[in-house]
Structure 1
Amino acid sequence: MGLLTVGTPLPWDDARKHADHVRAHGIRQFLNIWNNLKHRRRDKLLWGDEIEYVVVAFEGGNGAEKTVKATANAYEILLKLEERERLAVQAGEPISWSFKPEYGRYMLEGTPAGPYGSTLDHLLDVEPNMVARRKLAATYLGKNEALVSITNFPLLGVNVPTSFLEPSATPTPLDGASKSLFIPDAAINPHPRFRTLTANIRERRESKVSINVPIFKDVNTPSPFLEPAPTCMDGFCEDRKSAVRRESQSSRTPPSTVQPPTRQQTPTLPDLVPDAKPDHIYMDAMCFGMGCCCLQVTFQACSVEEARKLYDHLAPLTPIMMALSAGAPIFRGYLADVDCRWNVISASVDDRTKEERGIEPLEKSRFKIPKSRYASISTYLSPGPNYSGGCMSDPDVASPSVSSLPPAVQSHFDEKYNDIDLVYDKDIHKELVENGIDDMLARHYAHLYIRDPLVVFCEKLDLNDETSSDHFENIQSTNWQTMRFKPPPPLSPIGWRVEFRSMEVQLSDFENAAYSVFIVLLTRTILSFDLNFYMALSKVDENMEIGQKRDAVLNERFKFRKNIFGNDARRPAGFEEAPAGVHMNDSGYASSDAEDYMGDFSVDVIINGKTGVFPGLIPLIRAYLALHPSLPLQTLKILDSYLDLLSRRASGKIPTAARWMRNFVAAHPDYKGDSVVGQSVAWDLMKRVDEIGKTEGRIPGLSL
């Protein structure tokens, strides 16, 4: 969860005064890192994963009324885990795990203690490490508590008939960091960064964040769906209700169009809150997004050029993997008409002012900014100039057809793929270029640095720019994009890294290991076969919207490049180039793109391939594995089980976690077909999720 500095965070009115200082020194810190490490080369593939968990508490059952809550006890568990890790390190004891704070007080983040190794055999360490993390954290759970890896706690923000949080807490819509109608500040991790981040996003925006997710219309869902006013407003006088309205006036709807209900009407949420839309689930706090859980993978490249190449070629895969990992069909106790968290979390940290959002003309703000801080990338990097002299894509590959080729820093990039009108700070861009940064990378950082630092610690204002990267990371780490390009920290053995950020967390360790290993194998396959996934970034943005739709993995089509082989000499045997010109996509519709042969493909075709249409990522990964004839049979067997899981998910033979949860809710005897996921349904759902998480290996009916 970004840079967890210890110190005294400044409130927004004070922090904003230091924005230029942080930006200026952040750029100097990056330039120092660049000048010291741009020639670094031949780092090994070292990588790691991050899994976020929710701790829940069960009450009732066996005939008693059932309730399940997110428990703030997770924070106390975190403190115990951190102390255990500190003592182990102090004593020189080997540990394989590490736990970090996350936004929600009910959340934990688990990672390996150090990176996984660079060989294919080391991929077998991933699942046991994930199992060990879960088991260790579980030893600190209280009675009737469970640690679950689920994208979104389904009752987050539900306070009727009881608070979703244990111990219970009441939202304070006119006070605190969130000023939320649904989320009490007690749900936020007490580290000073998190509440300050929450308050400063709201204050910079000059209103609460506004999140509207379309409701899933089931057979008994009211139409229009108009949610009742939240109970925390019961007894509010008209002045206090007006204050709530003012906090929520962030949309394009002018306040004058909001009509108060007549005395005969029972006020609904859209009556009282201008941002709340009919037929939508309304959420108004950072917690609804940053309180979700995800699966992220970070890997070290051999050089800065290779990191930039992987950043670019993985970016078009981010919406595909989001759809394939979909796991968030329920928000605030309602079934949504989306399957993923992405737009929710994007809106939850959207600190743009009305001027930056284009609602009002620019007067005080510097830029009109099309996207939230949490968004898809807006520019490719290209490998850029050969700063380091390059390195082999995969020096361990025995095949002469691969190992004798020149370094894999071929570009395949064309400026036409950067078809999004990039907003960037021209002065910062000029400074970077004048100090030796190529135009493409300079634009990338000048784009990130249009943002203000959101949390500024007064003790960290004046730093040594030669040895610190805190100001750089302040802005770098609060640009939460689908891909993150990560320079090495100063004075560190860590190399140039890339982070893949779009996947939703899965319910079992087997599944999380499978998705993580798939991404790592894909990076090796891209480099070994010199694959080319470049496509217009505007189409990647379209795919991000498509990938969040309900059952997108089965029902939607994605734009994707058809001719992905960039170098005939590197193409694996048995894979032919796509024919040029008009072709049939997998739906049978003719399409044509004379330059790039773009197609409209299902996730199934992209992942599994289809003869004459697309080679498929899994067949290509298997061709890469075939280049390692000495790989032990047991290693191949386990890797194949991971690939088989994703293959079957893509084909629809087994459901995504989102579809599995929808089926579970629909089949529950207490569900009324009205889109409401009540306590008894949620209790049974979370019990089953807990059972799945504790099951080592394959999960019948959900995974293999």
Structure 2
Amino acid sequence: MVTFVAGMGLLSQGSPLTWEETRKYADHVRKHGILQFLNIYNKVKDRQKDVLKWGDEVEYMLVEMDERNEKARLVLNGSKVLETLQQKGENINPNHPTLWRPEYGSYMIEGTPGQPYGGTMSEFNTVEDNMDKRRREASSVLEKNQTLLTVTSFPRLGCPGFTQPEYKPTPVEKGASKSLFFPDEAINRHPRFSTLTRNIRHRRGEKVVINVPVFKDKSTPCPFVEVFPEDDGEAARGAKPDHIYMDAIGFGMGNCCLQVTFQACSISEARYLYDQLATFCPIVMALSAASPFYRGFVSDIDCRWGVISASVDDRTREERGLEPLKNNKFRIHKSRYDSIDCYLSCCGEKYNDIELTIDEEINKQLLDAGIDKLLAQHIAHLFIRDPISLFQEKIHLDDENESDHFENIQSTNWQTMRFKPPPPNSEIGWRVEFRPMEVQLTDFENSAYVVFIVLLTRVILSYKLDFLLPLSKDVFKGCNPVLDPPASAVNGLESEASDGEEYTLMSIDTIINGKEGVFTGLIPMLNSYLENMEVDVDTRCTILNYLKLIKRRASGELMTMAKWMREYVSHHPQYKQDSVITDKINYDMLQECDLIAKGQKKCPELIGEPLNRGK
């Protein structure tokens, strides 16, 4: 699909460098990355009137359902499945309706539409069909006992025997992650992924540390403390009591998500959309919550974001503020996978109220080259990071016609929104990527979230809406967004906005569905927009069904996937109220998920009933 690179970022082929070798070229990559950005910017800064094009990315897990042993395992043959799909599709037909790309896990694949969707309303009626095509296409090349699932987090990821074939982790031997739980064989074989894994660990100076609060059920040990027999001391130092401890990138990047990329008509429109959509990132993340289980335990969080953020946190102790700066240049406040740190549009400038770490030299270089202050500081902030994966063949490049060094830094800053300049010498325009959503169980749900976000961009642009608020107030609890308002905001409003303030606390129900005298609500805005558009009956019916799902999820009338999974586990006859998800519980739940995803079983508490999908 012309508007995308793979979700994990730039995928180059070649000979990967170690972290020590990569570090020697860090300044070279930054220097030439900035030159490449300036070359692109100067060529296309005045580009106007690009038409709306957009597309989604869905990530899938390959799962074996072992009926005899009642076990669900992740199948580590993603590369083979991917190669088969590409050979049957895009390799013989450039207009094939689907495209397939690798992802971090060797049990994962990513599917996108073969061509971007356009700006007509009727396109919304084709999204679910294309997702269905992808699911059927990939399922057709699997073996009899295997299935394709869109679950955000595999509940027993990192538990003994969670892969097929089974491999044991190698924490004390040479390897990419040295994890106590996650074998290197579960990492995609493309050299980028193992290099990323190894170099993040080497740059940080230790393994990554992920601690997720465990859900305290009636029989959960208190305190909840694990002992790790093969630990060399790192786990004992890193693990917190009453938390589920994880130690590898795979626990974050091995999760699945749903993303949408839009082409804007100009750079200014792209910057405006980037800012406006940033406000909705934590809201839509909470609405799509789908990952309550980690390493075979029930957690006290519903979304993957905090897990994935910690999983790629390559900051040293100095950069994390644990030791004085000596060998590093910057104190860095966040992981390279986190929420945005600054708005890009002129209307967002006054709301940039959080501390922004920037490379002052790069900032000055950009300003001197004619880049405005807001865009310059955004790029100078991204470029405080080192390249984390570099290939020998990609060191010396043609800065006029290539952008690999810029993309090396840009694509490993995994933020809730991504501002994407056009590739060199291409027909692609300025784009923005909306990144916080958890993947949903069915194609209907995934389509609903995608269409909701795309429609929201149309409404924002058509009505010139402004949803900005100070970044410090955009509460982004990456680990645990809540759907219900706090006790002090039972009515969806904590208090009247005080004099001079343009914002107030609202529940997600109020934000999405509106409340008289408080806020119109996004769904009523979208409905108003639709009433003024020429839309065929079929498409209108489809869109209204999607919006109905979003509306009912926001009100709590329908469960999120995370809530549904929790309910399933709590009512399973084998569950002992001890926060443990056994192989049998996992197998039964994923079998149920598979039936629902294939339309063989209804699930009114999750999706609603009945569903006239406008087909």
Question: Structure 2 CA distance, aligned partners of 1:681 and 1:525?
Answer: 43
Aligned to 2:611: none
Local SS of the residue matching 1:494: coil
Indicate if the aligned counterparts of 1:171 and 1:179 stay in contact, CA closer than 8 A.
Answer: yes
Where do 5+ consecutive residues of structure 2 fail to align? 1-7, 609-615
2:217 matches 1:218: yes
Aligned to 1:488: 422
Question: Structure 2 CA distance, aligned partners of 1:669 and 1:596?
Answer: 52
The code of the aligned residue for 2:81 comes to I
Aligned to 2:169: 171
Local SS of the residue matching 1:65: coil
Partner deviation per Cα, 1:652-704 (whole Å, 9 max, x = no partner): 11100000000000111111110000000000111111112212997422112
Question: Given the two structures, how large is their TM-score scaled by the length of structure 2?
Answer: 0.95
Indicate if the aligned counterparts of 1:510 and 1:698 stay in contact, CA closer than 8 A.
Answer: no
Indicate if the aligned counterparts of 1:518 and 1:642 stay in contact, CA closer than 8 A.
Answer: yes
Q: How does 1:325-474 map to 2 (within 5 A)?
A: 325-383=288-346, 411=347, 413-415=348-350, 417-474=351-408
Question: Structure 1 CA distance, aligned partners of 2:532 and 2:501?
Answer: 28
Indicate if the aligned counterparts of 2:421 and 2:431 stay in contact, CA closer than 8 A.
Answer: yes
2:530 matches 1:655: no
Indicate if the aligned counterparts of 2:79 and 2:106 stay in contact, CA closer than 8 A.
Answer: yes
Aligned to 1:568: none
Local SS of the residue matching 1:660: helix
Question: Given the two structures, how large is their TM-score scaled by the length of structure 1?
Answer: 0.83
Q: Given the alignment, which residue of 553, 578, 586 partners 2:483?
A: 553
Are the structure 2 counterparts of residues 127 and 698 from structure 1 closer, same or farther at C-alpha, using a change threshold of 3 Å?
farther
Local SS of the residue matching 2:65: strand
The code of the aligned residue for 1:367 comes to F
Question: Structure 2 CA distance, aligned partners of 1:153 and 1:75?
Answer: 19
Aligned to 2:43: 36
2:8 matches 1:8: no
Pair member with larger Rg: 1
Shift of 1:516: 0.3
2:476 matches 1:544: yes
Indicate if the aligned counterparts of 2:209 and 2:238 stay in contact, CA closer than 8 A.
Answer: yes
Indicate if the aligned counterparts of 1:557 and 1:602 stay in contact, CA closer than 8 A.
Answer: no
Indicate if the aligned counterparts of 1:585 and 1:613 stay in contact, CA closer than 8 A.
Answer: no
Question: Structure 1 CA distance, aligned partners of 2:544 and 2:258?
Answer: 21
Partner deviation per Cα, 1:493-521 (whole Å, 9 max, x = no partner): 11000000001000000000000000000
Aligned to 1:83: 87
Indicate if the aligned counterparts of 1:96 and 1:112 stay in contact, CA closer than 8 A.
Answer: yes
Question: Structure 2 CA distance, aligned partners of 1:115 and 1:596?
Answer: 40
Question: Structure 2 CA distance, aligned partners of 1:328 and 1:17?
Answer: 39
Question: Structure 1 CA distance, aligned partners of 2:103 and 2:239?
Answer: 28
Are the structure 2 counterparts of residues 430 and 171 from structure 1 closer, same or farther at C-alpha, using a change threshold of 3 Å?
same
Shift of 1:539: 1.5
Aligned to 1:154: 155
Indicate if the aligned counterparts of 1:105 and 1:186 stay in contact, CA closer than 8 A.
Answer: yes
Local SS of the residue matching 2:49: coil
Question: Structure 2 CA distance, aligned partners of 1:606 and 1:133?
Answer: 33
Question: Structure 1 CA distance, aligned partners of 2:462 and 2:33?
Answer: 35
Indicate if the aligned counterparts of 1:350 and 1:373 stay in contact, CA closer than 8 A.
Answer: yes
The code of the aligned residue for 2:35 comes to R
Identity between Structure 1 and Structure 2 (%): 53
Q: How does 1:660-699 map to 2 (within 5 A)?
A: 660-695=564-599, 699=603
Shift of 1:587: 4.4
Aligned to 2:257: 294
Q: How does 1:460-609 map to 2 (within 5 A)?
A: 460-540=394-474, 543-545=475-477, 548-549=479-480, 552-556=482-486, 586-587=491-492, 589-609=494-514
Indicate if the aligned counterparts of 2:281 and 2:416 stay in contact, CA closer than 8 A.
Answer: yes
Are the structure 2 counterparts of residues 696 and 28 from structure 1 closer, same or farther at C-alpha, using a change threshold of 3 Å?
farther
Local SS of the residue matching 2:505: strand
Are the structure 2 counterparts of residues 373 and 71 from structure 1 closer, same or farther at C-alpha, using a change threshold of 3 Å?
same
Question: Structure 1 CA distance, aligned partners of 2:207 and 2:376?
Answer: 33
Indicate if the aligned counterparts of 2:343 and 2:349 stay in contact, CA closer than 8 A.
Answer: no
Partner deviation per Cα, 1:429-466 (whole Å, 9 max, x = no partner): 01111111001000000000000000111101111111
Give the alignment's Cα RMSD to 1 decimal.
1.6
Indicate if the aligned counterparts of 1:648 and 1:654 stay in contact, CA closer than 8 A.
Answer: yes
Partner deviation per Cα, 1:207-243 (whole Å, 9 max, x = no partner): 000000000001111110112425xx2xxxxxxx5xx
Q: How does 1:21-420 map to 2 (within 5 A)?
A: 21-60=28-67, 64-89=68-93, 94-159=95-160, 163-175=161-173, 176-229=175-228, 233=230, 241=231, 244-245=232-233, 248=234, 273-383=236-346, 411=347, 413-415=348-350, 417-420=351-354
Question: Structure 1 CA distance, aligned partners of 2:280 and 2:125?
Answer: 24
Partner deviation per Cα, 1:60-108 (whole Å, 9 max, x = no partner): 3xxx43111111022211111122234323xx6x311011000000001
The code of the aligned residue for 2:120 comes to T
Indicate if the aligned counterparts of 1:586 and 1:613 stay in contact, CA closer than 8 A.
Answer: no
Indicate if the aligned counterparts of 1:510 and 1:696 stay in contact, CA closer than 8 A.
Answer: no
Question: Structure 2 CA distance, aligned partners of 1:319 and 1:484?
Answer: 15
Indicate if the aligned counterparts of 1:557 and 1:600 stay in contact, CA closer than 8 A.
Answer: no
Indicate if the aligned counterparts of 2:493 and 2:504 stay in contact, CA closer than 8 A.
Answer: no
Shift of 1:283: 0.2
Are the structure 2 counterparts of residues 86 and 524 from structure 1 closer, same or farther at C-alpha, using a change threshold of 3 Å?
closer
Are the structure 2 counterparts of residues 364 and 216 from structure 1 closer, same or farther at C-alpha, using a change threshold of 3 Å?
same
Question: Structure 2 CA distance, aligned partners of 1:56 and 1:658?
Answer: 19
Question: Structure 2 CA distance, aligned partners of 1:35 and 1:698?
Answer: 54
Shift of 1:557: 8.1
Indicate if the aligned counterparts of 2:36 and 2:405 stay in contact, CA closer than 8 A.
Answer: yes
The code of the aligned residue for 2:502 comes to Y
The code of the aligned residue for 1:549 comes to N
Where do 5+ consecutive residues of structure 1 fail to align? 234-240, 249-271, 384-410, 559-583
Local SS of the residue matching 1:134: helix
Aligned to 2:515: 610
